[in-house]
Amino acid sequence: MNLLENMNEAMAYIEQHLGDEIDLKAAARIALCSETHFRRMFSFLAGVTLTEYVRRRRLTLAAWELQSGGAKIVDLALKYGYDSADSFARAFRQLHGVTPSEARRSGAKLQAYLPMTFRLTVEGGERMKVRIVEKEAFRIVGIMKRVPIVFSGVNPEIAAMWHSLDMDKIGLMKKVSNIEPGGLVSASTRFSEERMQEKGGLDHYIGAATTLAVPEGFASLEVEASSWAVFEAVGKFPDALQETWGRIYSEWFPSAGYGQAEGPELLWNEQRDQSAPDYRSEIWIPVGKRKDGTKPDRTEPNRTESNTTESNTTESNTTESNTTEQA
């Protein structure tokens, strides 16, 4: 059974338990992954958070019960996870545009969100160039800021971070860079749950990957030892980069034998000239290989969105890796 089939089995479990408490850990076990990876994969595949999907499905079922029977509003509120009839009524009106009482009337127009399933659609057949790299623990040393999530184009807050760097800071970061990816890198972590709705923010670092001590005045992000999937993006910036991001989660993860592990997502750019038609970037994502249907439990919500970077090319230490080209 592949990942999408496992996801659909988990979705069937959720559908069966909309009227009572949903154990998302149990759903994740059915999908053969950790709860956080299950939430993340659902968000990227569905374009909406799992929490929002469950809310919409429950309110859809509640609307049908109101129209087809004599269920009490307070009973429906408790059945579908609300503490009171008032909180249920507010959520109901937000989704359907009418109150629960108005929904009972003949001819009331209500929203309907149907059960979701996933299937693989083959498009294009373009290859993805990816290698798996094993890395010991290291740290990102540089500057950090909480920035808003931006899906398309340049993220102005990240661009401002780059513009704030002077030659002294850049030189010091390059000096401590002693492992791959070499030179300056971007790292993103601690994403808001609403990221798939282009809401909330993330912690963004610009710095160097290193095993050396943290220079005075710099922020530091400690990164655990892990396997890393390294994806190459070549083309117009940032379009090619953002297209690769989408393919990683919609194509590679559903078909590969890996699940996303705990840690930041890294972005390395080969040169400063972002106008180059063959602009080359690397996306580094921590992963763990699935064994006997399991994926790593050490996960946190991560996704790098729109990053403006001005990395410099430096020689980097190579690590043991396996390179594959996937169609």
Whole-angstrom Cα Rg for the chain: 23
pLDDT computed for residue 296 by the predictor: 41
pLDDT computed for residue 290 by the predictor: 66
| Distance, CA of 223 to CA of 263 (rounded, Å) | 6
Q: Each residue of 197-249: pLDDT tens digit?
A: 667 899 999 999 999 999 999 999 999 999 999 999 999 888 888 888 888 87
Residue type, 68: S
Give the closest residue to 269 by CA, choosing from 192, 169, 158: 158
In degrees, rounded to 5, the angle at the alpha carbon of residue 121 between the alpha carbons of residues 114 and 16 is 30
| Distance, CA of 196 to CA of 8 (rounded, Å) | 20
pLDDT computed for residue 196 by the predictor: 62
| Distance, CA of 162 to CA of 151 (rounded, Å) | 18
| Distance, CA of 68 to CA of 70 (rounded, Å) | 7
pLDDT computed for residue 122 by the predictor: 53
Dihedrals phi, psi of 309, to nearest 5 degrees? -130, 155
Residue type, 5: E
Q: Is the pLDDT of residue 117 over 50?
A: yes
pTM above 0.85, yes or no: no
Burial of 136 (0-12, 13-18, 19+ CB in 10 A): exposed
pLDDT computed for residue 141 by the predictor: 97
| Distance, CA of 61 to CA of 245 (rounded, Å) | 35
What integer is the mean pLDDT of 128-152?
90
What integer is the mean pLDDT of 176-202?
86
Q: Is the pLDDT of residue 82 over 90?
A: yes
Q: Is the pLDDT of residue 115 over 50?
A: yes
